């Protein structure tokens, strides 16, 4: 239901590795409050969440998604943490064999083509010139793989002959595309970033993912600055302080329940009647930098 011809509501889910679990908690509280989207836009891990949710866009679907996250382990997505050197030898242009990620996606997706989802879903990927490519039909698994193809870590994914990579590096963001797709009310479900990490993630992939979560947050701030005033935009609360690396898949339960509680509180406090501002995601410090190091 649209609730009015030009009052379309979109949920926007951007990337963030393991922090994608946060979006599950946000979805749980938004649905509990009776908030439902007319369509959903996803990028990177948000593309995976968006597709799962679009297959069953109700509270049961959210709980099903929560169970997937609770069972998810790092090796389900990044199987070669110890064999990276072999990976480097075998694959010249990427580090991680994507077959585990593809198997994970296909195991849980309740539909094949994006156009078959119960809720219209649009996935963002990036072409080699940096343009955003919006995928709204065709293989959902292929679209998610393309959208989550972090450069250097996963291989590019060909869609209709064009090699595509992670949606996070596109010139246009999922928030902007939600507007161009006709949304007049946009609710962003940010994964945020680990603002309270004591030290950089230990691994190369962890550091790369952390950097991407920062990029996504800064893009979001710029989007909120330039989005036309007539667009009603709301930002579910990012978790702060957060000390969980986007490469740590062992704390999904904690992320889901913290995000659900924070979102419930935000809704009760009038979050859905307040327009989001860039200050909602402002850079800040928790970590004390010791002198002399």
Measured from the CB atom, is 79 or 201 closer to Zn ion? 201
Measured from the CB atom, is 200 or 241 closer to Zn ion? 241
* Cβ 182 to Zn ion shortest distance, Å: 34
For tokens 């908690």, what's the residue? 25
* Cβ 242 to Zn ion shortest distance, Å: 6
Burial class (CB in 10 A: 0-12, 13-18, 19+), 226: exposed
Within 13 A of 192's CA, how many CA atoms are on the CB side?
Answer: 27
Cβ within 8 Å of residue 37, ≥6 positions away: 9, 10, 11, 57, 119, 187
* Cβ 196 to Zn ion shortest distance, Å: 5
Measured from the CB atom, is 195 or 244 closer to Zn ion? 195
Q: If you ran DSSP here, which 8-state letter would residue 115 be given? A: G
CA distances from 151 to 17, 98, 166, 181 (A): 14, 12, 7, 26
Measured from the CB atom, is 92 or 282 closer to Zn ion? 282
* Cβ 239 to Zn ion shortest distance, Å: 8
Cβ within 8 Å of residue 79, ≥6 positions away: 96, 97, 100
For Zn ion, the binding residues (CB under 5 A) are: 195, 240-241
β-pair partners for 122: 41
Measured from the CB atom, is 54 or 195 closer to Zn ion? 195
* Cβ 194 to Zn ion shortest distance, Å: 9
Measured from the CB atom, is 182 or 241 closer to Zn ion? 241
* Cβ 199 to Zn ion shortest distance, Å: 16
SS3 of 186, please?
A: strand
């Amino acid at each position: 239901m649209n609730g009015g011809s030009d009052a379309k509501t979109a949920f926007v889910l951007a990337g963030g590795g393991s922090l994608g679990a946060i979006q599950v908690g946000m979805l749980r509280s938004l649905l509990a409050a009776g908030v439902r989207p007319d369509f959903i836009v996803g990028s990177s891990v948000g593309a995976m969440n968006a597709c799962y949710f679009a297959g069953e866009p109700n509270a049961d679907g959210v709980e099903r998604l929560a169970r997937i996250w609770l069972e998810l382990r790092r090796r389900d997505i990044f199987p070669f943490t110890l064999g990276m050197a072999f990976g480097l030898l075998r694959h010249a242009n990427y580090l991680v064999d994507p077959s585990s990620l593809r198997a994970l996606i296909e195991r849980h997706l309740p539909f094949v083509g994006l156009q078959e989802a119960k809720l219209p879903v649009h996935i963002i990927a990036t072409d080699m010139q940096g343009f955003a490519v919006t995928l709204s039909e065709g293989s959902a698994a292929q679209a998610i793989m393309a959208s989550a193809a972090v450069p250097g870590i996963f291989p590019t994914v060909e869609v209709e002959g064009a090699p595509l990579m992670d949606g996070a590096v596109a010139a246009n963001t999922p928030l902007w595309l939600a507007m161009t797709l006709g949304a007049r009310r946009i609710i962003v479900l940010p994964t945020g970033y680990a603002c309270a990490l004591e030290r950089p993630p230990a691994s190369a992939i962890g550091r790369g993912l952390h950097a991407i979560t920062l990029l996504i947050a800064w893009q979001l701030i710029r989007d909120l600055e330039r989005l036309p005033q007539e667009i009603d935009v709301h930002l579910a609360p990012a978790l702060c302080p957060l000390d969980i690396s986007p490469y740590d898949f062992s704390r999904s339960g904690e992320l889901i329940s913290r995000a659900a509680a924070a979102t419930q509180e935000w809704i009760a406090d009038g979050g859905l009647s307040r327009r989001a501002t860039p200050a909602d995601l402002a850079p800040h410090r928790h970590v004390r930098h010791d002198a002399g190091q």
